[in-house]
Amino acid sequence: MKRISEINALGKERPNPSDEEREQLRRKRLQRERDEGYQKLVELCNFGEYDMAQQLANRHFNWGYEIVDGIVMEKID
């Protein structure tokens, strides 16, 4: 770790990612959030909390899941 006196505030310490790299990072983040959301929904259903799982799925519609008869299903549009 550098001392504050060694850091050039106007220097290039961290390169800015390109638009393509930003998009790739965004896609990875969204996929990770979707996977984590799926796990949360499955756990709620396993505990018998179907209403809570449905509320969570509705609140995070961008995950693309719904609860059908206590089972996490991928939404089909």
Reported as a single tens digit per residue, the pLDDT across 10-56 is: 766 667 788 999 999 999 999 999 999 999 999 999 999 999 999 99
Angle separating helix axes 50-59 and 19-46, nearest 10 degrees: 160
Residue whose tokens read 């290039």? 12
- Please name the amino acid found at residue 4: I
Calculated CA dihedral for residues 13, 18, 22, 24, nearest 10 degrees: -120
Q: How far apart are CA 66 and CA 76, in angstroms?
A: 10
Binned at pLDDT 50, 70 and 90, residue 6 comes out as confident
